[in-house]
Structure 1
């Protein structure tokens, strides 16, 4: 394993308010265990992630939306506190877009992958992703970009109902807008009414043919790329469970080889000359074609699933090696490795038992039983984030119970509240 330049710290940047984001914790642990000094910028320094023993310091975002000028000032201030250049790794789309826009003004303070101008913003834009798939002839659900409410209603009829509606730039949604980034549209009138909210959303409305989900249909790819779109480490995996069911978060995923998914990801990165970390989501249709549904120009929350079991190399470690000029060793695959996010995994496990069968799995051979499990929260060498998360999760459920009891009509028996994921699919991000 190549030695890390431990004189170069890392700053993790997350602008999306999510106190239970286990991807941030995974990055802190991975880099911290390699002997790298880890700093992080997040909404709250008092959340479970901030309890990690591998975190050197947490910097709290100011309250309210942060404009680019304010973020530039904050990043410069953090750089002064760190005292030397650091690798900057955004952990959400909004952070990746902001870092790319500010890259030229952060020279000398932070190390960032050299990207074509505006590339992260282009890739995170759902309309641009549809155009890119057409350009590369990659399978992508049939998509309409209506220019009027009537066109939205007509497109809904042509695409077939129900269909999926997406705002092309979900990072522009504000909490006050009261809109979800992704919505299931069931009628033509729903499509018409949704289009009329375009100004409030701040970006274009896309209507997309819905591909039915089911066992073995949802796949993903994580990878880190160097100059020219050359893959340093990467691989494919299958979503074993989801919450909400059949869509949304991936509380349980398994690393499995899928040549079609991997070829599509490598072809796209090579075409773009992408450098940095990519996370892609795919869905297989009834004809066996894998449609690219989403692309994120940053690490996904289950990136630790793609770790070399002997060296510990993963995408964030590979990026640090690459940006500091160190050689990145060839990574070994670990098919069958399981990722489990405990707080998100319980609800789909219970719901699936009543609503649907889990994704088909290969027979459990002796080798499969010995495969490892990457847990999002629990770690023997770093127990405090798990304990803090569990306590916060339970308190959240108790608060919801108390609220329902206070607001229930006299004489009624309110149902107990269930702890829900902090950010299910479709909850908007702050701008």
Structure 2
């Protein structure tokens, strides 16, 4: 295989502790690919990885004009000096790469996704409309036009319910919630929304934990939605508990779910990396699509074929005109996000009045941060995590007003 074509990990907005970015970096780097990354500063986990060929300190906020961001990417392409595979690591970068693909094609290899599709998919209401059009089960959800409709929808959907920021970029510029949030009643809903008269938020039916299973599918789709690799996995824990990003998951066979996900990508003509979140509702026996992320998944290193191919390697091979080796998914792999998984296990057990279960990873677990052939990112992450905890604990003291 030819691994001489470089890759650039693209990101928009501050996310120094993006373990998905580090996973892709290690995957491609171990594959022999020269990997470059956009980083916030020289001391993020990605910036110190031994697998990194070069770093570009580009501390974006997500508030920039997309044309300026595109110009920045073109400058990075010229600095690398060769056409480069661009890997989107967040929703905003996926939208940027798709909508400006014609201009970026001078320096970057990109999947031929319809330009408008990633923005629709990253819109929670846009995804709801796609699911309705293609008869894909999804939890009941609505985007309120104003505060009055917000209250009415809350009463219609029933509590508890789930709140999500509605669009890519608006979640960076003016987030309503810091992450997917479950509210238990109307008072809590209004407290979370605050004084906004037109909140940019999706209100979604909550499927209770005893009636639900959380599943993941990761894909790489070629032109017109043809699936080249598809992986399925079971989500054990998340942070925040039961509503956030995956902190522990298993790679597990699920042909029915793989078929649903593959069929949807084919129907809508999606091309590129995809990370889909599904919730199995035991009450009606349906897998319901919760999120469609048109980019690299944070837990992408959970999945690998018996030939050693994961989603980002599949994209690299396809965009560089090489054959993607066949072979079934490797099942039984575990993925764990260190400290966050311990927090999730502990707090989840306390909420349910039980002892924490399966806290320690087993042999062969893929860890988000710790890797014996690349130890520095885990050291940097420990420092960043410790600083975040310290700031959270001392926040009440810092916010306390000095007596007159």
Report the CA distance between 1:178 and its aligned residue: 6.0
Report the CA distance between 1:388 and its aligned residue: 1.5
Aligned partner (choices 290, 300, 316) of residue 303 of structure 1: 300
SS in 1 for 2:209: coil
Q: 1:133 to 1:264 in 2, by over 3 A?
A: same
TM-score for both structures, normalised by structure 1: 0.84
Report the CA distance between 1:393 and its aligned residue: 2.0
SS in 2 for 1:128: helix
Supply the distance in 2 between the matched residues of 1:383 and 1:167 (Cα, whole angstroms).
35
Aligned partner (choices 357, 371, 374) of residue 379 of structure 1: 371
Q: Which residue number corresponds to residue 223 of structure 1?
A: 219
Matches within 5 A, 1:17-96: 17-62=14-59, 64=61, 65-96=63-94
Q: Is 1:7 paired with 2:4?
A: yes
Report the CA distance between 1:397 and its aligned residue: 3.0
Which moved further from structure 2: 273-282 or 40-49? Answer: 40-49
SS in 1 for 2:100: helix
Supply the distance in 2 between the matched residues of 1:210 and 1:89 (Cα, whole angstroms).
32
CA contact (8 A) 1:11 1:39 kept: yes
Report the CA distance between 1:360 and its aligned residue: 9.8
CA contact (8 A) 2:181 2:243 kept: no
SS in 1 for 2:154: helix
Q: Which residue number corresponds to residue 127 of structure 1?
A: 125
Q: 1:198 to 1:51 in 2, by over 3 A?
A: farther
Supply the distance in 1 between the matched residues of 2:77 and 2:122 (Cα, whole angstroms).
27
Q: Is 1:238 paired with 2:237?
A: no
Q: 1:214 to 1:91 in 2, by over 3 A?
A: farther
Q: 1:375 to 1:215 in 2, by over 3 A?
A: farther
Q: Which residue number corresponds to residue 415 of structure 1?
A: none
Q: Is 1:114 paired with 2:112?
A: yes
Supply the distance in 2 between the matched residues of 1:373 and 1:400 (Cα, whole angstroms).
30
Q: Which residue number corresponds to residue 247 of structure 2?
A: 251
Report the CA distance between 1:240 and its aligned residue: 1.0
Supply the distance in 1 between the matched residues of 2:25 and 2:125 (Cα, whole angstroms).
33
Supply the distance in 2 between the matched residues of 1:176 and 1:265 (Cα, whole angstroms).
31
CA contact (8 A) 2:335 2:367 kept: yes
Q: Which residue number corresponds to residue 429 of structure 1?
A: none
Q: Deviations over 1:215-249 (max 9, x none)?
A: 86111111111123222222111111122211102
Report the CA distance between 1:170 and its aligned residue: 4.3
Report the CA distance between 1:324 and its aligned residue: 0.7
TM-score for both structures, normalised by structure 2: 0.89
Which moved further from structure 2: 346-355 or 235-244? Answer: 346-355
Q: Deviations over 1:26-46 (max 9, x none)?
A: 111111111111011133332
Q: Deviations over 1:87-143 (max 9, x none)?
A: 011100000001111101012210000011201111111111111111121111112
Q: Aligned residue pairs: how many?
A: 396
SS in 2 for 1:173: helix
CA contact (8 A) 2:217 2:231 kept: yes
Supply the distance in 2 between the matched residues of 1:132 and 1:355 (Cα, whole angstroms).
35
CA contact (8 A) 1:260 1:290 kept: no
Structure 2 portions without partners, runs of 5+: none
Supply the distance in 2 between the matched residues of 1:276 and 1:127 (Cα, whole angstroms).
21
Q: Is 1:269 paired with 2:265?
A: yes
CA contact (8 A) 1:22 1:376 kept: yes
Q: 1:85 to 1:161 in 2, by over 3 A?
A: same
Report the CA distance between 1:399 and its aligned residue: 4.4
Q: Deviations over 1:189-211 (max 9, x none)?
A: 66678497265x5x4x4322211
Supply the distance in 1 between the matched residues of 2:154 and 2:388 (Cα, whole angstroms).
38
RMSD: 2.7
Structure 1 portions without partners, runs of 5+: 362-368, 411-431
Supply the distance in 2 between the matched residues of 1:16 and 1:63 (Cα, whole angstroms).
5
SS in 2 for 1:59: strand
Q: Which has the higher contact order (CA 8 A, sep 6+)?
A: 1
